[in-house]
Amino acid sequence: MAIVSEKALPRLHALQGKTQIIALGEESLDLAEMCRYLYSEHGIHRMNLLGGPNLNGMMLDARLMDEVFMTLAPKIQGGGSTVSMIEGTGFEADQMIPAKLLSLSTNENEVYLRYELCWDKNQ
């Protein structure tokens, strides 16, 4: 299944007849509508987002994320063009989303963190 915007449909001609293509939103994908569709039509009420920093930022902007998984690995990259895990508009200091640590585990030199996003800052 491919879920895209109406604008993206022409670029998917190679997938016609090979997979179900759903268009939600005209210029850009309507992420809230995508979540409603996946729940109502397929019973999906949770998903693991592996889309990268732009999709992460869009899902945060739409308040469609409730947990974040992070891996800290022993690799260092710097510079002004370094991509972060969240791209997009971001949040001002007084609007940052607090997070509650749910779990922490390690494997060799890596640390795996799971956080709940606290949209209600009183949590």
Q: Which domains does the chain have, with CATH numbers?
A: 1-47 (no CATH), 51-123 (3.40.430.10)
91 Cβ neighbours under 8 A, 6+ residues apart: 97
Q: What is the DSSP string of 2-46?
A: EEE-GGGGGGGGGGTTTS-EEE-SSSS--HHHHHHHHHHHH----
100 Cβ neighbours under 8 A, 6+ residues apart: 115, 116, 118, 123
The whole-model pTM stands at 0.76
95, HSE (Cβ side, Cα atoms, 13 Å): 7
Cα–Cα distances in Å, from 94 out to 63, 66, 84, 97, 98?
Answer: 16, 19, 20, 9, 11
Reported as a single tens digit per residue, the pLDDT across 42-81 is 999 998 888 788 888 889 989 999 999 999 988 887 777 7
Percentage, residues of the chain above pLDDT 70: 98
Reported as a single tens digit per residue, the pLDDT across 72-94 is 988 887 777 777 788 887 778 88
CA–CA separation, 59 and 44 (whole Å) = 16
